[in-house]
Structure 1
Amino acid sequence: MRTLPPAKTTQRIGLFGGSFDPPHSGHLHVAKTAMKRLGLDWIYWLPASGNPLKSKPADFYDRLHAVRELAGGHPKMFVSDFEHWAGLRYTADVVRAFTAHSRNARFVWLMGADSLRNFHDWKNWESVAATLPLCIVSRPDAGPRALSSPFARRFAKFRLAERDAASLAFTAPPAWVYLKAPFDATSSTQLRAHAQKG
């Protein structure tokens, strides 16, 4: 199975990692917003094998198939099992593998603003920010805390204006942009809680 982009591609590719436990319309909203505003050619969804900052997620392949159902109708979105297949656990290692394999691709890491709040807790988070640009898409109730997070303060001078989002993939890291967009209030935490009650 093709889990990585073509080695010689020069396309603009968003890497969208997460537990996706479960995947939902809010995730798709982040992906579609980033694709449109950044002019991305592809988005690679990267379900995580596990998340060191969270309790053990649902079975990897159950989540993988659920993400494929969610994003599968979009012709420019690809759901990769690379992290699981390669036995990697941390985003920094995944990013390093993608950039080493496709050296001429214009990669951007995608995340919702709720993830930015604790980005500084990720292993080697500064390495991630130094390896590829970041695109953060607004999420309900996450904006103020996200924009005052250790990452946002540490890299404040590298933030692009929202009007310049289309140039992010061509901007040398560290670089990031915060995109405001209509909210989709769906959350994995709420969906898991609802499933447990049911």
Structure 2
Amino acid sequence: MGTEPATRDVRHDARGAADRRIPPLAPGLRVGLYGGSFNPPHAAHRAVSLLALKRLRLDRVWWLVTPGNPLKDNHALPPLAARLDRALAMARHPALVPTGLEAGLGTRFTYDTVATLVRRYPQVHFVWLMGADNLASFHRWQRWKDLAALLPIAVIDRAGCSLNATATPAAIALGRWRIDEADAGSLADRPAPSWVFLHGLKSPLSSTLLRQRGVS
């Protein structure tokens, strides 16, 4: 009986270490990287990921559950382990892989995380995934132009965001590298910078909205 708490702690530590490892990879895989605090994860996260899997012909979508967003107040952010547990419960698909690898790498900004992955796994085809609402603030991200030069980007439409998103500073600056939506299936094989705007998802859900409604 006296050893039970210690045993549970060891298992918890092992689980935490596994959550922070880079998921298995193989040369030639096409992997979407979908970052966020996932506070909470919701059905639109899953819908975005499934749309990207199909339209971009990806093999996996990793949900990069961040330790904290540098552009947001993280004071009330639930622990990473709790958000990972909820993300796993929401994903419910073998190709959707929630991971806390940023905590394992010790990176704070998206550029640093992506640069590390691209450097370590040059034979993997990574694609950055973001909602159209994030494109509006993309020009405020740390080294956003360098990030766009590291890997292709897919922007997934959000309800009410289409026109505003494509008129933002980042969308205008990257405009000449935007490919036609009909060619989205080839995005993962294209050199960066290149990006596509995907329509077809109109979910109004967001983590912010759910927190405002008291869903956590």
Same fold per superposition (TM over 0.5): yes
Q: Match of 1:69?
A: 89
Q: C-alpha offsets along residues 131-155 of structure 1, whole Å, 9 cap, x if unaligned?
A: 0000010001111221011111001
Q: In 1, Cα distance between the equivalents of 2:107 and 2:207? A: 23
Q: Match of 2:166?
A: 147
Q: In 1, Cα distance between the equivalents of 2:80 and 2:25? A: 26
Q: Is the 8 A contact 1:133 1:174 kept in 2?
A: yes
Which of 128, 150, 154 is residue 131 of structure 1 equivalent to?
Answer: 150
Q: Is the 8 A contact 1:160 1:176 kept in 2?
A: yes
Higher Cα radius of gyration = 2
TM-score by length of 1: 0.94
Indicate the SS of the match to 2:197.
Answer: strand
Q: Is the 8 A contact 1:137 1:178 kept in 2?
A: yes
Displacement of 1:5: 4.6
TM-score by length of 2: 0.86
- Segments of 5+ residues of structure 2 without an aligned counterpart are 1-17
The 5 A counterparts of 1:73-88 are: 73-88=92-107
Report the RMSD for the aligned CA atoms in angstroms: 1.6
Verify: 1:93 aligned to 2:112, yes or no: yes
Q: In 2, Cα distance between the equivalents of 1:75 and 1:187? A: 23
Q: Match of 2:12?
A: none
Q: Match of 2:132?
A: 113
The sequence identity of aligned pairs, in percent, is 38
The AA in structure 1 aligned to 2:187 is L
Indicate the SS of the match to 1:14.
Answer: strand
Q: In 2, Cα distance between the equivalents of 1:148 and 1:52? A: 24
Q: Is the 8 A contact 2:111 2:147 kept in 1?
A: yes
Indicate the SS of the match to 2:44.
Answer: helix
Q: Which runs of 4+ in 1 moved over 3 A?
A: 5-8
- Segments of 5+ residues of structure 1 without an aligned counterpart are none
Q: In 1, Cα distance between the equivalents of 2:35 and 2:197? A: 17
